[in-house]
Amino acid sequence: MATLLRKLSYNSFNQCRALHKIATDHTVPMTFNQYEHQHRFRETQSEVIGSLMASPRFKNQLGDVEIWMNKLLEYALGGGKNGRGLAVSFAYRMMEDPEHFTEDNHHKARILGWVIETFHSYLFLIDDIMDGSKTRRGQQCWHLRDNVGMGALNDSGLVFTSAYEILEQNFGNDDIYGELVRVCNGAMLNTCIGQHLDYASNYSREKDNLDLFTMERFNVIALQKTSTYSFKFPMNLAMTLVKGKNQGLHLSEEVHHICWDMGKLLQLI
C-alpha cells in the first residue's frame, strides 16, 4: 500500500497528461520535485493545527481540552507517509491549467491534504480498536496508552469532527465550501460502508462464512473502501479546487477507471 501511494505522490514526473475535460482539452506539462513537495506539505501541518485550535469551538474550552487535543493530534498526524494528503497537492498541480495556477490555491490543496490525513487518522484509530492492534507506525496504539483505553472511541470522534472544523476554518467563506463538504461526506460514507463489508467478511469457524468470499463482494469492498478513499477522494478534492465555479469541468472517465483498478490492486496487498 505504502509503495503504491509513494509512486502516486512522490515520484518525479516530467510528462504531459490530460486528466480532466472541458470544452477544449488541454494538457499540463510539469516537472515535479518530490522533496520540495513533501517539505512544503509538512510545513503546513502546524498552520492547520493552529487554525483548528484557534477556532471558537476549541478556543473557549477548558485548558486541559487543548492539552489533550494537541497530544491526540501529535499522535494521530505524526509519523505517517502522508500519501493521500500529498496526492491532493500533487493532483492540483498536475491538473490545473497553467494559466489559472496560483500558489494560493496550491497552498489550499495542501490544507485539503491535511483534511484527508485527519480523516485517515480517525479511520486508523477505529481500525486499531476493531482489530485489536498493538502498534501503529512503530508506536503503541492509542487505545492501549495510559489514561486512554476505551476513551479512544470518543477521541476518534474528536479527530473526525476536527477534519470538518479544519475545513470550515480554512474554506468556510469560499464558494466551493459546500462542494468540499459534499465530497468529504460521500467519500467517508463509502469508506465506512466498505470497512463494514471488509470486517464482516473476516472468516471464523463460528460464523462459517466462506460463502462471503466472492469476487462480487471483493469488488464492492475494493471500490467502496479502497479506490474511493485512497485515490478518488484526493483527486475529487483537487478537482474541486481546479474547477471552482466551472461546473462543466470534470474528471475524465479514464481517471475513474484508473482509480478503480488501483483500488482493486491495493485491496489485495
How confident is the model over 49-95, as pLDDT tens digits? Answer: 999 999 988 888 888 899 999 999 999 998 888 989 999 999 998 88
- Residue 237 included in any domain: yes
pLDDT, position 4 = 38
214 pLDDT above the threshold of 80? no
Q: How far apart are CA 162 and CA 168, in angstroms?
A: 10
- Residue 151 included in any domain: yes
Domain that holds residue 116: 2-8+28-268
pLDDT band at 252 (very low <50, low <70, confident <90, very high): low
- Residue 183 included in any domain: yes
- Residue 231 included in any domain: yes
Q: What is the total count of domains within the chain?
A: 1
In CATH, what number is assigned to the domain containing residue 91? Answer: 1.10.600.10
- Residue 236 included in any domain: yes
- Residue 226 included in any domain: yes
Which of these ranges, 73-77, 182-186, 221-225, has the smallest mean pLDDT? 221-225
- Residue 177 included in any domain: yes
- Residue 263 included in any domain: yes
pLDDT band at 175 (very low <50, low <70, confident <90, very high): very high
Residue 244 to residues 99, 116, 226, 257: CA-CA distances in angstroms? Answer: 14, 19, 26, 24
pLDDT in tens, 104-147: 999 999 999 999 999 999 999 999 999 899 999 989 999 999 99
Nearest to 28 by CA among 18, 20, 38: 18
